[in-house]
Amino acid sequence: MSKTVTLRLKDDIYNALREAAMAENRPLSNLIETAAMSKIREQHFVDDTEMAEIHADRNLIKRIKQGSREARLRKGRFIE
């Protein structure tokens, strides 16, 4: 179910977003939603190139597996 969100924008930002939405022939809300989700994915998920680098780093993979084993055994301590 969709939710309604109120967003306060400065006039110049609103106008820039509105013009961009009009140029793409879509609603302003869709432009903002798409941009926000794109930013979230960019910051919170790994792209294919970065994942390939992670898999190629044998030392990193070894340390991740060791950390996972230690976590299952409740070994170590959590730092807040």
Structure-block tokens of residue 45:
């998920």
CA angle 35, 32, 36 (to 5 degrees): 40
**Contact yes or no for 27/21 (Cβ under 8 A):** yes
Q: What is the pLDDT of residues 41-53, one digit of tens each?
A: 888 888 889 889 9
Distance CA 50, CA 41 (A): 14
pLDDT at res. 44:
83
pLDDT at res. 34:
96
Which of 22-26, 43-47, 65-69, 73-77 is predicted most confidently?
22-26
Burial 61-75 (b: 16+ CB within 10 A, else e): eeeeeeeeeeeeeee
pLDDT at res. 76:
76
pLDDT at 63 over 90: yes
